[in-house]
Amino acid sequence: MSADTTPTTDQLAGRATTVLARLGVDLDGAERGNVISRSPINGETLAQLAATTAGDVDTALTTASEAFLLWRSVPAPRRGDLVRRLGELLTEHKTDLATLVTLEAGKIESEALGEVQEMIDICDFAVGLSRQLYGRTMPSERPLHRLSETWHPLGVVGVITAFNFPVAVWAWNTAVALVAGDTVVWKPSEITPLTALACTALLDRAIRDSNAPSAIHTLLQGARDVGERLVDDPRVALVSATGSVRMGRAIGPRVAARFGRSLLELGGNNAVIVSEAADLDLAVRGIVFSAAGTAGQRCTSLRRLIVHRSIAEELVARIADAYRQLPIGSPLAAGTLVGPLVHEAAFRAFEEALEKAQSDGGKIVVGGNRVLAESAPQAYYVEPTIVTMPQQTSVVHDETFAPILYVLTYDTLDDAIELNNAVPQGLSSAIFTTDQREAELFMSAAGSDCGIANVNIGTSGAEIGGAFGGEKETGGGRESGSDSWKGYMRRATNTVNYSSELPLAQGVNFS
Ligand code: UN1
Mean pLDDT of 111-130: 98
By annotation, the residues acting in catalysis are 265
For the stretch 459-480, pLDDT in tens is 999 999 999 999 999 999 999 9
SS (H, E, C) 148-211: EEEEEECCEEEEECCCCCCCHHHHHHHHHHHHHCCEEEEECCCCCHHHHHHHHHHHHHHHHHCC
Q: What percent of the chain has pLDDT over 90?
A: 96
Mutate to test the pocket of ligand 1, among 117, 192, 300, 468 (most ligand atoms within 8 A of CB): 300
What class is the 270-466 domain? alpha beta
Domain 9-266+475-491 and domain 270-466 have a common topology? no
CA of 374 to the centre of ligand 1 (A): 32
Q: Could you tell me the pLDDT band of residue 3, with boundaries at 50, 70 and 90? A: very low
Give the span between the Cα atoms of 413 and 308, in whole angstroms: 8
Lowest-confidence region among 3-7, 60-64, 358-362, 385-389: 3-7
Mutate to test the pocket of ligand 1, among 111, 299, 429 (most ligand atoms within 8 A of CB): 299
Which ligand 1 atom lies nearest to the CA of residue 462? 4
Q: Could you tell me the pLDDT band of residue 5, with boundaries at 50, 70 and 90? A: low
Q: Using a 6 Å cutoff on CB, does residue 459 contact ligand 1?
A: no
Which ligand 1 atom lies nearest to the CA of residue 460? 11
Q: Which CATH architecture has domain 9-266+475-491?
A: 3-Layer(aba) Sandwich (3.40)
Terminal alpha carbon distance of the chain = 85
Sequence-ordered list of residues with C-beta below 8 angstroms from that of 292, at least 6 positions apart, any chain: 323, 326, 337, 338, 384, 403, 405
Mean pLDDT of 117-140: 98
At 273, the amino acid letter reads I
Q: Using a 6 Å cutoff on CB, does residue 242 contact ligand 1?
A: yes
Q: Would you say residue 1 has pLDDT above 60?
A: no
At residue 29, the pLDDT reads 77
> Domain residues of the chain, as ranges?
9-266+475-491, 270-466
Helix (H) or strand (E) holding 13: helix 9-23
At residue 397, the pLDDT reads 97
Q: Using a 6 Å cutoff on CB, does residue 300 contact ligand 1?
A: yes
Q: Using a 6 Å cutoff on CB, does residue 241 contact ligand 1?
A: no
For the stretch 153-193, pLDDT in tens is 999 999 999 999 999 999 999 999 999 999 999 999 999 99
Q: Dihedral of CA 394/395/396/401: which sign? A: positive
pTM recorded for the entire structure: 0.97
Give the span between the Cα atoms of 145 and 147, in whole angstroms: 7
- Supply the residue whose CA is at minimum distance from atom 3 of ligand 1: 299
Q: Using a 6 Å cutoff on CB, does residue 169 contact ligand 1?
A: yes
Q: Would you say residue 350 has pLDDT above 70?
A: yes
Mean pLDDT of 327-336: 97
Cβ atoms 226, 52 nearer than 8 A: yes
Q: Using a 6 Å cutoff on CB, does residue 293 contact ligand 1?
A: no
Q: Using a 6 Å cutoff on CB, does residue 165 contact ligand 1?
A: yes
For the stretch 266-304, pLDDT in tens is 999 999 999 999 999 999 999 999 999 999 999 999 999
User: How many of the other CB atoms lie within 10 Å of CB of 446?
Assistant: 11
At residue 79, the pLDDT reads 98
Mutate to test the pocket of ligand 1, among 117, 298, 450 (most ligand atoms within 8 A of CB): 298
Lowest-confidence region among 31-45, 80-94, 417-431: 31-45
For the stretch 491-501, pLDDT in tens is 999 999 999 99
At residue 498, the pLDDT reads 98
